[in-house]
Amino acid sequence: MKLETKISIALLIILLTLGAVFFITGFSVLNFLSVPLEIDGFVVYVVVSLLFIGIIILMGFVIDRQVRKPLFFFISWIDQLSFGVFKMPDMIKNFSFNQMRLRPFLELKVKLDGLTYQLNAAEKERKELEETRKNWTSGVTHDLKTPLSYIKGYAAMLRSEHKWDGEEIKEFAKIIEEKSLYMEQLIDDLSIVYEFDKMQIPLHLRTVDLVAFVENVLEDLRQSPMAEDYAIHLNVKNEGGILLSFDQTLLKRALENFIMNAIYHNPPKTIIIVSIETTEDATLIEIKDDGIGMDEKTIRHLFNQYYRGTTTDKAQLGSGLGMSIAKQFIERQKGQIAVESELDKGTKIKILFPSKN
């Protein structure tokens, strides 16, 4: 038996019970008064019957408008939500919210309105994420196959009967090594994401000179073949060293990801400036470039897993996990991160560590 049928039967029983109570009470009262008022018993019976019928009709009308139809409407609404239809159902015939007077129903409508909006927004976000993940999976598959094809190709060339000279062999070996390192980095990114999900990333805080640490990170990056056409500068706005407590491994990886992202998505000759500034309350690390910038959509999804960012003419865009991982590394050390960017005007990534992080 459907829930609506059960509710209708229950309301009918309540209606008949109340009617019977009114009938018995009214009949008893009028029958008691019939003697002093000299009213005929048949008249009493007719009057009570008419009152009974009138009360039943009135109560039925009120219950139908104020209880049954609103209940059916809300049941229909909840049914739709359970089947993934995140919208308010069509109005029941001859029923309007303006006729609804019971406060619990009015409050229920407000709650269901909010729930429907949240579920609809969550469903839209889920579909966008699913589409992004599909694209990401396709991209990562391509990212793995491309260097693998290089490795297989050059390995086959080395195995051939052709006599390669020493320089050619070294060049082949260099390419194989670079592609292997790229694949290793990609696999490491996937492993880190899994470890973050399992909350297994250890944190080793040490107080060191931040300026010297960042100088070493930038010097290593300048040696990368990917960075040879980019100017990477350090700007320290305070004199002397800056002592800060942080995990050197996590912060190094985060800075590398931010700077390499600026390299991946900007043309050669882009200038990248890393600034360090300290105040009484916090230490600020800013990574600024004068590149192509980002639109609002890219900024909004920049730190989402699986988002691979704007297109570029470079062969290797990365896994789409680097920025998400970098953000998690910063937040793992109680830091905060913000992004400012505008198309054709470059990008700023600001990392803020409270003085007592």
Domain assignment present for residue 20? The answer is yes
- Which of 170, 197, 224 is where one domain is finished? 197
Domain assignment present for residue 106? The answer is no
Domain assignment present for residue 71? The answer is yes
Question: Could you give the CA distance from residue 353 to residue 335 in angstroms, rounded to a whole number?
Answer: 5
pLDDT tens across the length of the chain (357 residues):
565 566 667 666 776 676 666 666 655 655 555 545 455 555 655 666 666 667 667 766 766 666 777 777 777 888 888 888 888 777 655 556 666 666 777 788 888 888 888 888 888 888 877 776 676 666 667 667 777 888 888 888 888 888 888 888 888 888 888 788 777 777 776 666 666 655 556 778 899 999 999 999 999 888 887 788 899 999 998 887 789 999 888 898 889 888 988 888 899 999 999 999 998 889 999 999 999 998 888 888 777 755 555 444 444 444 456 677 788 888 888 899 999 998 988 999 999 998 764
Choose among 303, 292, 337, 329: nearest CA to 132: 303
pLDDT tens-digit series, residues 285-341? 999 999 999 888 888 877 775 555 544 444 444 445 667 778 888 888 889 999 999
Tell me, what CATH number does 229's domain have? 3.30.565.10
| Residues 226 and 299 reside in one and the same domain | yes
Choose among 330, 219, 344: nearest CA to 283: 330
* Contact between residue 97 and residue 65 where contact means Cβ atoms under 8 Å apart: no
| Residues 264 and 325 reside in one and the same domain | yes
- Which of 173, 197, 221 is where one domain is finished? 197
Tell me, what CATH number does 190's domain have? 1.10.287.130
Domain assignment present for residue 134? The answer is yes
Radius of gyration of the chain (CA): 37
| Residues 96 and 128 reside in one and the same domain | no
Q: Write out the residue range of the structural domain in which residue 168 sits.
A: 122-197
Number of domains in the chain: 3
Measured CA distances, 316 to 261, 265, 308 (Å): 11, 10, 11
pTM of the entire predicted model: 0.52
